[in-house]
Structure 1
Amino acid sequence: MSEQDHLFAQPQAKVADFIFNENVARVFPDMIKRSVPGYPTIVENIGVIAAQFAQPNTVLYDLGCSLGAVSQSLRRHVQCDSTKIIAVDNSTAMIQRCDEYMSAQSSMYEELQPIEVIEADILSLDLLPASVVALNFTLQFIDPEKRLSLLRKIHSALHPKGALLLSEKIRFESQADQTLLNDLHIAFKRANGYSEMEIAQKRSALENVMMIDSIEVHRQRLQEAGFTSVTPWFQCFNFASFVALP
């Protein structure tokens, strides 16, 4: 069961860098629901969109799967013969809980897509032929110098009729836009019960590990990786999701 997120509710003499450990895994559903505007809509519609691009005899990847919310959405919506979902994360705590959630989902519903849950570094993972790859708030935690090579690897593995579904926190080229959307995001977190101290301490924890890009940078990098079309399909404040076609 998920607990309420109080990880930053007490003052910390030194805020450590954010890591996806057992403490985070325990509260993650509450944390992300209260921190990422539009998250349930993004997750549900990744499954809907994926169903339009899934091809027989291919893999559907959820890279950086955390607790497997996207994988569950893929299983609910994709009905395509001879496909398999592979959920990958490098956090032991996340993968253990993800595996439990997938097993519970399998016991509740019949005829779901088969799924394999793997603990691995997606940068070193050899990708099988795939028709859908989801990077749902994952790329922003990858070393910026390694993002292009990862996207090139994904592009090489993608079926010509497949798609990359990429969700990210974004920054804005205009300082006025950046300030406005950042302020609105903070207001969203306040409205969801986070205190000023929690907001500030979590921001400090993330500043060295989550490097965000603008829509323009994402589009340019995806095109450099070989994608011919990059379409934003969702944005809420400073969070967006894209469909990139090979």
Structure 2
Amino acid sequence: MHDQIIPDARWSFNDDVTAAFDNMLERSIPQYNIMRRAVFDIGRHYVQPDTWVIDLGCSKGEALAPFVAAFDNRCLGIEISEPMYYAARARFAGNERVVIRQDDLRQRYPTETASVVLSVLTLQFIPIEYRQNILQSAYDNLTVGGAFILVEKVLGNTAQINDRMVDAYYDLKRANGYTQDQIEHKRLSLEGVLVPVTAHWNEELLTSAGFRHVDCFWRWMNFAAWVAIKG
């Protein structure tokens, strides 16, 4: 479904967003397919036998799907949005190795032992005060040698640099067919819902959780991805 949503209230992952989600990401996330491929290309090297691959905030299961196809491991998707949860369940229906669970990471973190944990554009939607605890739980439930992969929208280190990156991002959205009205309405609806922090802050959250090997493997302006290894 082509994304023509003009939100007029606080942003939520409702039925309309779920239906248009794939098109929305392709037109809103810079280098979207490159980022998705990079997440798998990095993550696949850390999948260990008899462990889980977990996707935190799995939405419709796009990040989890290549792991399901490539490995025999059990896979778990956690999703808080009811429409997204049902979409992910439908996607993997009949596959007994895949579990999709509707849950709130602020209240519970999955206890399954994982060798790869994905957090693709998820943490930014969780209030800042919960993020460190979630990353700590991810570290604690990860096998030694396992990987946590984090993809986030980020702030620039200064207001001036951040403004230039945001300008470039909105230029990209306009080039991908979004109107100024759509861009402005979505910006307003996301205020207080999507709360990014700087790249350095994200790296500090990862190292504070215990990860000692942290590196950025993809970045475009105000979007970035890291791999963090449990040593």
* TM-score normalised according to structure 1 size: 0.89
User: What does the per-residue CA deviation read over 1:68-120, in whole Å, with 9 as the maximum and x for residues that have no partner?
Assistant: 1001122234x3x5x2110110111001111222238x6xxxxxx92111111
- Give the whole-Å Cα distance in 2 for the aligned partners of 1:125 and 1:136: 16
Residue in structure 2 matching 1:29, options 16, 22, 38: 22
Residue in structure 1 matching 2:103, options 91, 100, 120: 120
Which consecutive unaligned segments of at least 5 residues does structure 1 have?
Answer: 107-112
Percent pairwise identity: 29
- Give the whole-Å Cα distance in 2 for the aligned partners of 1:127 and 1:197: 43
2:81 corresponds to which residue? Answer: 91
Listed as ranges, the matches of 1:141-180 within 5 Å are 141-180=125-164
Aligned length: 229
Say which SS state the counterpart of residue 56 (structure 1) adopts: coil
Does the CA contact (< 8 Å) of 1:227 and 1:245 recur in 2?
yes
Superposition deviation, residue 229 in structure 1 = 1.8
Superposition deviation, residue 127 in structure 1 = 2.1
Listed as ranges, the matches of 1:195-234 within 5 Å are 195-234=179-218
Which consecutive unaligned segments of at least 5 residues does structure 2 have?
Answer: none
Aligned alpha-carbon RMSD (Å): 1.5
1:6 corresponds to which residue? Answer: 4
Superposition deviation, residue 39 in structure 1 = 1.8
Superposition deviation, residue 145 in structure 1 = 0.3
Is the aligned partner of 1:135 residue 2:119?
A: yes
2:52 corresponds to which residue? Answer: 59
Does the CA contact (< 8 Å) of 1:165 and 1:244 recur in 2?
yes
Runs of 4+ residues over 6 Å off in structure 1: none
- Give the whole-Å Cα distance in 2 for the aligned partners of 1:160 and 1:126: 17
User: What does the per-residue CA deviation read over 1:178-221, in whole Å, with 9 as the maximum and x for residues that have no partner?
Assistant: 12111110000000000000000000010110100111101111
Does the CA contact (< 8 Å) of 1:152 and 1:226 recur in 2?
yes
